[in-house]
Structure 1
C-alpha cells in the first residue's frame, strides 16, 4: 500500500480539486484529506480518523454510507451490461425501471424523465428544453431565465450564470446575458428590519413582477428556484412565498423549474420539496439523492404541459437534437433503483421528518443564547446557524474574520464532526444523511455548541 505522504504528494502534484484555493493547496498550506471508507453517517480517512459527516458529502448520501445493497446492484449491472446508450429509443431494464419509479414518486402532473449525470448538466438540459419549447410555440424572443441571488444551480456556463453567488461568477465572464436575478427569499437578511414575513413575501413577489415588466414579459421564458435555498445559506422560504411567486409566473405565462437536486428524495421530510411547499413546477431537476451519490446520475422531470410541446416539435422538426453519451447509464440507473428501494424500506423520508424536527429544535434549544448566534433555521434534515457581531442591531462580522470558517474548523478539530462553512456569510450548515438517529443528532448539536462557544470566547 502507498504511504500517506506519497499519496498526498501525488495529490498536490496531479489532482485539480474543485472549489479549492489552488495555490494554497499546491504549496501545502491547505491540508488534504484522503477518504478511505464510510458507514452510516461516518467516514474514515487514511490517518484512521472517524468523522461524523454532518453534511452527507455535499447533501448527497441520503441513505448513509456503506449500503451493500446499492454496491451489489452496481456490481451485478456491470457484469451483465456495463454500458449502452439511450439514443433513438434504446434503453435498459435499469433505466426504464428507474424512470417509472421516479414518476411514481413525483407530482402527478409530471410526464417523463431525461437522465444526465449531474445537477449542472440537468439544468443545462432544462434551459435548452425551455428554449426549444418556446421556439416550437413560435415565441422566439421568450428566452430569458430569471434566477435568484444566492441560488445555486451548477457551475457550467448557463448554470453558473443561474447560480447567484459571486464565487461562481468571478473572472469567468458570468453571468451570461440571458440570465437575470431577483431577490433571494432570505428573511433574516432583509434590508428593512421592520418588515413582517408577509410584507417581505409581498416585496419579493412585487419585485419579481417589476423585473418581468422591465425585461418585457414576452422575453422571459422561465424562473428557476430551489424549494429551500441550499448553498446560498440553507434558507427555508417564508410562509406563502411560493404561492406568491407562482401567481406572478402564471400571470405572464413563465415556466417554473424547481431545482430539487438537494431537496428531492426525502431531505425535507417529503419525497419532493415541490410537494412540501405546494409548488407545481413545469420541470424538476434531480440528482444527489437519486442514487445517494453511489453513482453519478441526474434527471430532468418534464411535465405533461412541456412534454406535449416537445412531442409536437419533433413531429415537425425530426429527432430532438439533445443527448449525452452517458444519459441513463445502466450502472448509475441500477444504483438509482436500489437506492429508491432502500429509501422506501428504511422509511428514510419519515425519519427525515421526525429526526429532522428533533435536530432543528435541539439546535435552537442549545444555541439560541450564545452571543454570536443570530439565526438558527432549517427544514427536514437541513439546518443552518448564522453568526452576527451584534444580535440586536443584526450587525454582521467583517468577512475577513472568517467566523463561519473558524467555527467549522473548530467543529472538526475538537469533535471530529463535519459541518460546512457556507459562502457569502458567516454560516455553518448541516445536512446529514437521512438515516440520522437522535443519538447522532445529539452528538452534532453538542459538538456545534462546543465549537461556537470556543470561537465566541476568542472574538
Structure 2
C-alpha cells in the first residue's frame, strides 16, 4: 500500500470533491483550510486571519463562535440527540420552532415542513405543488417559472429552477416543465432608451407573455428570491414586484418566495418579503435560520396550499415524502436560540444602523476605473468589474479580484465578474471600513497588474 499524504491540504486533494470548484485546478492549487472562527473572522491552519466577508455562504448571521448556540446544541444533545417527525411522531424543539416561524411569518402561513438545506426546501416545494395540482384535479398544472440568474439550489429539481448555465451544463438540466423568464437586472437586460419603470413593466409583460404562450392552465407556480443572491446580488428595480405580483394573481399561479439568503435580517427587515411588500403563498428558509451552525431549512405554506395537500394525503392514506433529519431536535434547538439572539440583540436595528455606511463604501467603489456597477441593500451587496479591462473571458477579472482580496485577508466570492459582500449581521462600522479598505486596495493592485 502506498504511503498516504501527510498534510491536510494533500489529504484534501487525495480524498475530497468540492462544490463549485474546478476539480483539475484544485488538484494543482489545493484548498484554503479554515481551522477556527471568532466573530466575523476565520483563521486558516497556518495562522492567517481573514474577514469572512460572505458569512460563510451568506449564512453565519451571528458570526463564528457564538457560545449560546453551542450551549443550545449541547443541552439538546444531552436530552434528545435525535428523533424524527415521521408517522405521527414529534418532539418539542420542532414544534416550538414551527410555532415560532408561523408567528414570525410576514404574511399568513398555515404549516411548516422542515428540511435540511435550501435546495431540499425548494425541491420539496415543487413536489408539494405538483401534489396539490393533482389533488385539485388539475394534472396539467405542473409547469413552474423561475428567472434567468435566479438561484434556488442544486438538487435535480431545484437546480432546474436555478437559472445559471453552469448548474445545467452536463447535468442534463433543466428537467421538463421548468421555465425561465427575464432577469430583473436593469443594466444588462434593459433595452436602449428604456428607463427602470418601463423595464420593470416589461419584465412583468415578459412573464405574462410566457404564461399565455404556455397556457395559464398549465402554470402552477413562480419561484423568486426577493433579492437575487448567487446570480450576482441583483436588486430588483423600483416597481418590479408591484408589476409582477398582479400577473400571478390574475392567473391563479402560486408564488414561492425563496428567502434562503434574504431571510432573518439580511435586507434590514426580518424577511425580504417585508422589504418588498410581497404576498407569497409559500416561503423557503434556511442559512441564517440557524446561522448555519447546524443544517436546517423550512418550507412555509399558507392554508390555500395546505388544505388540498391534506385532503390528498387522506385520500391516499399517507404523504409519501420525508427526510431522516427533518426537524432534527438539535438543529431546531439551535435555530430557536439563534432567532432569540437576533431579536434580543435587535440585529435588525443594527443592520439598519450600519447599512448606510455599508452602502456608502460599496457605491464608493464605483470611482475605480475597473468597477462598472455596484448594487445592494441592507447588508448584502456586490461590485461588478469590467472583464474587458482584463482583455479576457468573462469572470477572469472577478476571479483575480477574489484571489487578491483573499491574499489581503478578506474572503469574498466572485460570481463571474461580480464580487459579493455579505458579512455577518454583527459586523461593526469599523469592520465595514476594513472590508472596503481591502476591496479598494485589491482593485488598485489588480488594475496595476492588468494595466
- Report the TM-score range of the alignment, normalised by the length of the smaller protein: over 0.9
Residue-by-residue CA offset, 1:73-128 (whole Å, 9 max, x unaligned): 11111111111110122211111111111112112411111001000111110001
Cα pair 2:9 2:30 within 8 Å, conserved: no
SS at match of 2:64: coil
Give the equivalent residue in structure 2 for 1:81: 80
Residue-by-residue CA offset, 1:320-378 (whole Å, 9 max, x unaligned): 1111111111111111111111111121111122212320112213x221112111110
* Matching of residue 412 in structure 1 with residue 413 in structure 2: no
- Work out which of the residue numbers 436, 439, 445 in structure 2 matches 1:445: 436
Paired with 1:13 and 1:268, the residues of 2 have a C-alpha distance of: 40
1:366-385 alignment runs, 5 A limit: 367-385=365-383
1:7-406 alignment runs, 5 A limit: 7-26=8-27, 29-365=28-364, 367-388=365-386, 398-399=392-393, 402-406=396-400
Cα pair 1:410 1:455 within 8 Å, conserved: yes
- Work out which of the residue numbers 414, 417, 431 in structure 2 matches 1:421: 414
Paired with 2:357 and 2:316, the residues of 1 have a C-alpha distance of: 54
Paired with 2:273 and 2:119, the residues of 1 have a C-alpha distance of: 19
Cα pair 2:259 2:285 within 8 Å, conserved: yes
Query: If the length of structure 1 is used for normalisation, what is the TM-score?
Result: 0.94
Paired with 2:420 and 2:125, the residues of 1 have a C-alpha distance of: 28
Paired with 1:318 and 1:62, the residues of 2 have a C-alpha distance of: 40
SS at match of 2:236: coil
Cα pair 2:226 2:258 within 8 Å, conserved: yes
Deviates more, 1:191-200 or 1:294-303: 191-200
Q: CA deviation at 1:31?
A: 3.0
Structure 2 regions of 5+ residues with no counterpart? none
Query: If the length of structure 2 is used for normalisation, what is the TM-score?
Result: 0.96
Residue-by-residue CA offset, 1:199-237 (whole Å, 9 max, x unaligned): 100110111111111111111100000000100010111
Paired with 1:102 and 1:359, the residues of 2 have a C-alpha distance of: 29
Distance 1:401 1:245, change over 3 A: closer
Q: CA deviation at 1:388?
A: 2.3
Q: CA deviation at 1:4?
A: 10
Cα pair 1:4 1:46 within 8 Å, conserved: no
Cα pair 1:387 1:396 within 8 Å, conserved: no
Q: CA deviation at 1:174?
A: 0.4
Distance 1:43 1:193, change over 3 A: farther
Cα pair 1:292 1:339 within 8 Å, conserved: yes
Structure 1 regions of 5+ residues with no counterpart? none
Q: CA deviation at 1:401?
A: 6.6
SS at match of 1:218: helix
Distance 1:4 1:332, change over 3 A: farther
Distance 1:397 1:96, change over 3 A: farther
Cα pair 2:386 2:397 within 8 Å, conserved: no
SS at match of 1:110: coil
Deviates more, 1:329-338 or 1:85-94: 85-94
Cα pair 2:10 2:30 within 8 Å, conserved: no
Paired with 2:348 and 2:136, the residues of 1 have a C-alpha distance of: 39
SS at match of 1:83: coil
Count the aligned residue pairs.
447
Paired with 2:250 and 2:392, the residues of 1 have a C-alpha distance of: 41
Q: CA deviation at 1:257?
A: 0.5
SS at match of 2:7: helix
Paired with 2:324 and 2:401, the residues of 1 have a C-alpha distance of: 42
Cα pair 1:70 1:335 within 8 Å, conserved: yes
